[in-house]
Structure formats: structure tokens, C-alpha cells
Structure 1
Amino acid sequence: MAWIMNIEVWTTITGLLCVYLNARENIWGFPIALINVSIFFIMFYQVHLYADMGLQVFFFILSVIGWYFWLTGDKNSKDVRVTRNMTKNETIITIGTILVGGMLWAFLLDKFTDASIPYLDATLAVASIIAQYFLSRKVLQNWLIWIFINVFSIGMYWYKELYMTSGLYLLFLGIATWGYFSWKQEMGKVTLAA
């Protein structure tokens, strides 16, 4: 357990730094995220949270993609460096994917692994993939999805006796709330300038 505690310190430090930088719309959040998800992968393996462990692979890939898009913009659509709102279709697809994808992944974890809390773990993992995708695309509502994830993650990690990680997600909740209002305010400035 002492080994996990040490790894929790590093996941906490790198996690706070990358989420803070993302909320500030700072490009350096992405390389820090690559370090963070690598450490989280190891920790989640140790505590049998396999959906969270697999989630780190998606986060790694999406962080690389997000880093690229934030640097260059998307040549095939509007500039990704400008924050936008989620469309109605994106909202419907997001809710459906979280519900159906979470249940399917949880069923597989429950049936074929010794996963702990498979239904909550998998649902939060699916929601996290979607939130990270929308963060990479600078969609304002990514922060609302993160707020949902953080609320439930606090309890899940507390239950697993990952108290520092639970505390980290409490801080993430505050940063996600701040990120939402900060990005929304920035969007208002861009709209007024246009």
C-alpha cells in the first residue's frame, strides 16, 4: 500500500497541473497529461480498476491528438483553437454513448474480470473518453461532463481507499467548475470581438 501511496502523490501532482493548465487554455497541459496518464495506468492496474486502467490508453492517444489540434487547429473545419458550444446532436449522442457504452463495457468487465465496481467504473471511463475528446476539440461543455465524472469519482476512489486520489478529484471538481466559467467568459469576449 505504501507503493500505491507514493504513486498517488505523483498522479496528484501531475493531474492537478495538467487540469489547471487545460482550464487556463495552456498548451503545456497536454505533455503533462501524457506523464499523468502513464502513472495512473500503473496505479489502476494495482487496484483492479480495469476500466480506469484502459481509459488511460485512450487519454494518452487523445492527449496527443489534442496537443496537435491546439497547436495547429483543424484544417478540415473551423479553427479548434477557438472554443465552441456542443451541438444538440452531439449532446444526444454523448448521453446515449455514455449510457450504452458504459453498460456494455461494465458487462464485459463484470463477466470476464475481477473488476471492482465495474458498472460505475466503466460508465465514468466512457464519459471520460468523451469529455477528453471534447476538451481536445475545445467544446465548452467538456467541463460539464468532467464535473459529472468528478462528483462520482470522488466516492468511487474513497470506497477503494484511494483517499489522495479522491481528494484529487475533489480538486478536479473545483477546477472543472472554474474551467467551465472561465472558458464561457472567454467565449463571450470572442463573440463580442467578432
Structure 2
Amino acid sequence: MNDLLAAHLTIAGHPIAWSEIIGNVFGLASAILGMRRKVWAWPVGIIGNVLLFLVFTGAAYGSESGHTLYGQAGRQVFFIITSVYGWWRWQQHKEHDPNGVAVEPRWATWRERAVVGVLWLAGVAILTPIFRSLGSYDPVWADAWIFVGSMVATYAMARGWVDFWLCWIAVDIVGVPVLVRAHFYPSAVLYAVYAGFVIWGFVVWLRLARASTDEAAAGAAERVPS
């Protein structure tokens, strides 16, 4: 296991762990499957989460591939937990949907957005001093922002909210600079790729949500007696 985790490429004098590269490939595959509303998005994502957890805690046990980012590592644990929930939720919806669709995208309500926004900011405020005491990489607030934002985005994806793509944009804007400074280059590149991919996914889910709303409106109109 140690040999596996230590295996790396050296690019421009910087060691890059194969586990980081492979973990991010699984992460990207999970995002693509999620955009296409495939249940397989969740188990594929779990594999990537396990690999990336080992990557981001690497410095704690002697790895030279980068600094320890407790927020980045901790969010992988949450991803696994939430992925189990999302996996179950999407599978249940698929089994009961007449068209076999795993999720029907919709916008979150204003109440749901308000709750998520408050929890996001509160989580950053609470976790920043905790991550700092653990020795997380500066700026520590950014690590906390990425951690909480990732939790929010993953939960919103499990719920089928179109808003989850916008949450990922907010995470990516902060995440790319932090990962570059901490020398996690494959993860930084993936975040940058996500920025474009997230916009694409947002458009796809937005169209699906609108189509679903139009279909529901048409069905309601047909039920109204003339």
C-alpha cells in the first residue's frame, strides 16, 4: 500500500502522485455520469474519494507530494457518506419513475437556498479555527470554504437541485488557487476543467428542469375542465 501511494510522476521538479491523478479521473467520470443522471455516478465517485482522501492526508504520514489539507481530506469522507445517500435516493427514484429516470432536476426553493447559505457561512466560521489548530494550509478559511461548499453541492446534487452546479462554481473559484499554491497540480487542473464542465452541466440541467416544468404545466392545463 505504501508503494502504491508513493508512486508518482515528476513534472517540472514536482512529484505528483498517481493516486491523485487516478482519483481525479474517477471524480471527473462521476461528474459526467451525474450530469447524465446515471446512478453509477455515485459508486464511481466513491472510488475517487477514497484515493483523494489518502492524497490529501499524505503529508501527515511523510508523503512529499504536497501539504496536508484537512478540509480537502475531510470532505472526501463526507462525499462517501453523501454518495451512499445519493446512490440510494437516485436508485429509489429510478425504480419508481415510469421512464426509469434517476432524478428530475428542479430549482431549490428560496427557503432551501436561505438555509443552505446560512449553513455554508456558519460552517466556514466554525471550521476555520479548527482547521488552523490542526495545521491546515493557509489560507485556512479557503480550505473551510471548499470543505463546506463541497458538502452543500453534493447534497444538492442528491436532491436534484439545479443550484448544485452554481455551488460548484463557488467552490472552484476558491479551490484552484489554493490547490496550485499547495502543489496539488492534478487536482488544480481538474478544478479548472470543472469550471467549464460545470457551466455545461448547469445548462443541461436547466433545460431539463424547464422541460419538466412545461410538461407539468401542460398536464395541469389538460386536467382543467373546459
Contact 1:80 1:138 in 2 (8 A): no
Unpaired segments of 5 or more residues in structure 2?
1-5, 9-15, 59-66, 95-100, 217-226
For residues 146 and 114 of structure 1, what CA distance do their matches in structure 2 show? 25
Question: What TM-score, normalized to structure 2?
Answer: 0.79
Q: Is the 8 A contact 1:103 1:123 kept in 2?
A: no
In the TM superposition, residue 162 of structure 1 has moved relative to its aligned partner by: 1.3
1:132 positional shift: 0.5
Shift of 1:125: 0.4
**Letter of the 1:43 counterpart:** V
The list of structure 1 runs, each at least 4 consecutive aligned residues, that deviate by more than 6 angstroms after superposition, is none
Equivalent residue, structure 2, for 1:6: 18
Displacement of 1:188:
1.5
Give the alignment of 1:1-194 within 5 angstroms. Answer: 3=8, 4-46=16-58, 47-73=67-93, 81-111=103-133, 113-117=134-138, 118-194=140-216
SS at the partner of 2:57?
helix
**Aligned 8 A contact 1:128 1:146 in 2:** yes
Q: CA–CA distance in 2 between the matches of 1:12 and 1:84?
A: 27
Structure-1 separation of matches of 2:110 and 2:214 = 23
Supply the distance in 2 between the matched residues of 1:110 and 1:192 (Cα, whole angstroms).
Answer: 49
What secondary structure, in the 3-state scheme, does the structure 2 residue paired with 1:73 have?
A: helix
Bigger Cα displacement from structure 2, 173-182 vs 3-12: 3-12
Mapped to 2, the partners of 1:181 and 1:88 lie a distance apart of 20
The CA deviation at 1:80 is: 7.6
TM-score, length basis structure 1:
0.91
CA distance in 1: counterparts of 2:57 and 2:215, whole angstroms: 48
- Rounded Cα–Cα distance in structure 1 between residues aligned with 2:22 and 2:129: 31
Distance 1:116 1:91 in 2: 30
| Partner AA of 1:136 in structure 2 | A
Larger radius of gyration: 2
The root-mean-square deviation of aligned C-alpha atoms, in Å, is 1.8
